[in-house]
Structure formats: C-alpha cells, structure tokens
C-alpha cells in the first residue's frame, strides 16, 4: 500500500475483527501520544445520534 498524501493522512478505514462481531479503527500514533493512552488500555465510548461524542478511560475495579 502506498503512503497517503498529507491531505489524506487522517483518513482511516473501518475493519471487521473477531469474525465480524466487532470493528476496529487504527488511530494515528500521534493522537495516542497526545491523549496519553497506553497499549491495552480500556476505554468507554459513547454514541450520540450518529457521532461518537466521548471516549474516556474506564475506571478499573
């Protein structure tokens, strides 16, 4: 796969995982570093109408 131009750098594709039971999106490493997220960190995702509005850290028990 060829590298994307700078204008298209943040365009990502949705991928089926786990036999089609869930989906994943690859997020740029710059975003992960800026948000301070770590590998295998649990996140809570909220959906409002058709927009993902909130992604927060899950509170571990």
Residues 41 and 1: their CA atoms lie apart, in Å, by: 29
Domain ranges of the chain: 6-57
What pLDDT does residue 41 have?
Answer: 84
Distances (CA, A) of 9 to 1, 5, 15, 45: 13, 6, 17, 23
pLDDT by position in tens, the chain (length 61) = 677 776 777 788 889 988 888 888 888 888 888 888 888 888 888 888 887 776 777 666 5
Task: Please name which of 55, 61, 51 lies closest in space to residue 36, comparing C-alpha atoms.
Answer: 55
The length of the chain in residues reads 61
What pLDDT does residue 16 have?
Answer: 92
């Amino acid at each position: 796969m060829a590298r994307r131009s700078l204008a298209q750098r943040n365009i990502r594709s949705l991928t089926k995982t786990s036999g089609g039971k869930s989906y994943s999106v690859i997020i740029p490493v710059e975003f992960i570093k800026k948000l301070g997220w770590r590998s295998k960190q649990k996140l809570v995702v909220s959906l409002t109408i058709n927009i993902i509005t909130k992604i927060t850290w899950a509170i571990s028990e």
